[in-house]
Structure 1
Amino acid sequence: MLPATLTPRALGRALLARQLLTERARMTALDAVEHLVGLQAQAPRPPYFGLWSRLADFRAEELSALLLDRSAVRVSVMRGTVHLLSARDCVQLAPLTRPLYERAVRSRWRAELAGTDPQEIADAGLPLVRESPRPAAELGTLLQERWPGRDPRMLSQVVRHLAPVVQIPPRGVWGRAGAPVYAAAETWLGRPMAKEPCVETVLLRYLRAFGPASVMDAQQWSGLTRLGEVMERLRPQLRVFTDGSGRELFDVPEAPRPDPELPVPPRFVAEYDNLVLAHADRTRLIDERDRAHLASRNGQVPGTVLLDGAVCGTWQTGESRGAATLTVTPFRWLSDAEERELAEEGERLLAFATGSPGSSGSTGAPGTSGTGVTRTVSFTAPPRT
């Protein structure tokens, strides 16, 4: 029997259900972080917005507490990017994704490292961050004493690429500022890195959170290569579908695959959210013509707006002199009803963004926050195509 074919809309509904975006879930922040296999976190605030859009009554202080008590941590893993992970996932995913960083070091600093073993630099840097957490600049300066003439920024980055290190608070804590400070992962977390992380387990978790998906999708999400071999080992326990191009899509049997016509509420998806980054083929969520609106030269990924389960625009917030604004830039002209729906959800987002650290954004009179900040949601004209 030939595998069933799934339309982009069916794939989109499956993805949104697994991403907790068809309705807000009632689970702890830690459970959500683990279910999602982490949240991309180059900037400190996006993981908070990512959980706010997915969890009922989410409060920022819940996630901050996880960072402060070391149940969660900021660390570079999939795709060579910073993610917010549970401590349990950190010790598995950091060793598993290390080959990405080994390749990056070899390609980026080949000339600068000529005659020097980058692993030797990493091995020299690890005791320094075990001794005391250090900012990147301080770490580079100390390493330069051993490698005079080398760029201290490069030396620091080699350690951060090849040694098991994590970013520690106050970086990532809601309402607090601070440049990244690095500590040895095993010292900070009080547990060792996995010596033989299981790629099969991670791939199954990816499918539960992002499937159905192709091998190329899984490789796009993780940055790892040769996952076709892993998928073949898993094939007997998976369901297999195809997309409109005949490409094989793999899935765990028990994962939700809702009706393609399932109603989906409007959502504001965080900057850098894996929802829009975790597939090679993203037509399940966004029209290929609209992907150009998300591209930027410096690698930034804007917050995105979902209507009827599809990306239809971008959003950004701003605060100045007691006023908070949410600006929505749609990719197409919106109906009055669509603008009203987005404005209502936008009010709730601004209430969360401008509230106290513990605010869920679920209360407060329209247009004002508990801190007396005026809130405004505005819409710009669609960009020219």
Structure 2
Amino acid sequence: MTLLDNRALNRATLARQHLLQRTAAPAPETVVAQLCGMQAQEPQEPFIGLWSRMSGFAPKQLDEALTGRTVVRTHLMRRTVHLVTAGDALAWRARHDTMLRQRVLGTYRSDLAGVDMAQLAAAGRAVMADGQPRTMRELVEAVEDRWPAPPRRALGELLVAALIPMAQLPPRGLWRRTAGVRNLPLAAWLGRDIDPLPADDGDPVGQQLLRRYLAAYGPAAGADLRAWCGLAGLPAAVKALRDELVVFRDERGRELFDLPDAPRPHPDTPAPVRFLPAFDNAVLGYHDRSRIIDDAHLGVSVAGHRVVLVDGRVAATWRVRDHRLGISPLRPLTAREEEAVRAEAGELAVFLEDDIEQIRIDTGN
């Protein structure tokens, strides 16, 4: 069985994430679909993720996709808000139902003890049936006379993140817009019902998720797939598709699966500097993230820091503050690397339109 070292896995990930070369795809929804969605709990971050991946990306393209309802913000993978295509939201949501409920209950179990999930869901749907968008607080206020004991936050999280498939409506998530979350049922916003799970024992949605995940993140182990989506019941999908997949091993001895014709560039393929947004799935989409970030810096990937890839790996964090784009290396940069970081930072500054007056790399001196 062929062994793939971390550098080979890194280049495979970068190629599939459009981080080796920006894609010429004409629309954000195409790239969002190819990436299996984008982490979006911080509303402005997907714009940076798309700029780093698309040639000539302009913020109005994503604004138009959101207002045109070809992409949607919704709770999905790992119970986090993701930007996904309308089709994927409708096709995947039912498969995530159990996980979403379990994760909310895991956070608020004692607060929600004794609450009948079916009754609460029915009450919430009845409130939302008038087609009016609501904040979480407004929805809770409409049902809390029947469930006065649980804290509002617990009831609200259960309703909007688990029991009722919701879309977070624009202007939330539009470029340079600050707006609270207003929710509407996905089916109402997108004009189509959510695809039901099949009645038999098959799991075509799970198999589709596996194929799509490998196309965007592979080669990868079953544990990586589970870490990305939060679903525990996908070993059956791996088993069902095993004969269609190629199998490798990584440096830790794990079995990795991949699509036969997916790109696996030579490990020596040059990787350009890329600036990534907070919580980018190119980093978070694995259980074993060693292909892209050193173990010593794993905390950076979950703390909301924006990161810089140098030679394909997380090598710095970055931030914008007081008209200054600041870069904090996590390791010493060579003169050539620092030059490349500054050049890409200059392009980013133009995109951000923040009147950035200075690009500063913190050398620690």
TM-score computed with the length of structure 1 as normaliser: 0.89
SS at match of 2:129: helix
Q: CA 1:382/1:201 → structure 2, altered by over 3 Å: closer, same or farther?
A: farther
Q: Are 2:191 and 1:184 aligned? A: no
Q: Separation in 2 of the partners of 1:216 and 1:144?
A: 39
Q: Separation in 2 of the partners of 1:97 and 1:375?
A: 45
Q: CA 1:329/1:374 → structure 2, altered by over 3 Å: closer, same or farther?
A: closer
SS at match of 1:312: strand
Q: Summarize the alignment of residues 39-50 of structure 1 with structure 2, pairs less than 5 Å apart.
A: 39-50=38-49
Q: CA deviation at 1:347?
A: 1.1
CA contact (8 A) 1:143 1:155 kept: no
Structure 2 residue ranges without an equivalent (≥5): 198-203
SS at match of 2:227: helix
1:363 counterpart residue number? none
Task: Give CA-to-partner distance per residue, 1:308-356, whole Å, 9 cap, x none.
Answer: 11111111112x4xxx22111111121222112111111111111117x
1:248 counterpart residue number? 255
Q: CA deviation at 1:229?
A: 2.2
Match among 1, 6, 10 for residue 8 of structure 1: 6
Q: CA deviation at 1:194?
A: 0.8
Q: How many equivalent pairs are there?
A: 356
CA contact (8 A) 2:101 2:158 kept: no
1:312 counterpart residue number? 315
Task: Give CA-to-partner distance per residue, 1:66-114, whole Å, 9 cap, x none.
Answer: 1101111100000110000110010022211111112123323322223
Q: Separation in 1 of the partners of 2:170 and 2:103?
A: 26
SS at match of 1:221: helix
Q: Separation in 2 of the partners of 1:32 and 1:374?
A: 28
2:133 counterpart residue number? 133
Task: Give CA-to-partner distance per residue, 1:235-292, whole Å, 9 cap, x none.
Answer: 1100111112221100001110000000011000111100000111111111112223
Match among 202, 211, 221 for residue 204 of structure 1: 211
Task: Give CA-to-partner distance per residue, 1:351-378, whole Å, 9 cap, x none.
Answer: 11117xxxxxxxxxxxxxxxxx243211
Q: Percent identity?
A: 37
CA contact (8 A) 2:50 2:57 kept: yes
Between 1:199-208 and 1:373-382, the stretch displaced more is 373-382
1:380 counterpart residue number? 362
Between 1:169-178 and 1:93-102, the stretch displaced more is 93-102
Q: Separation in 2 of the partners of 1:97 and 1:304?
A: 29
SS at match of 2:351: helix
SS at match of 2:357: strand
Q: Separation in 1 of the partners of 2:15 and 2:103?
A: 34
Q: Summarize the alignment of residues 236-385 of structure 1 with structure 2, pairs less than 5 Å apart.
A: 236-296=243-303, 301-318=304-321, 320=322, 324-354=323-353, 373-381=355-363
Structure 1 residue ranges without an equivalent (≥5): 356-372
SS at match of 1:111: coil
Q: Separation in 2 of the partners of 1:67 and 1:326?
A: 28
2:201 counterpart residue number? none
SS at match of 2:121: helix
TM-score computed with the length of structure 2 as normaliser: 0.94
CA contact (8 A) 1:331 1:382 kept: no
2:102 counterpart residue number? 103
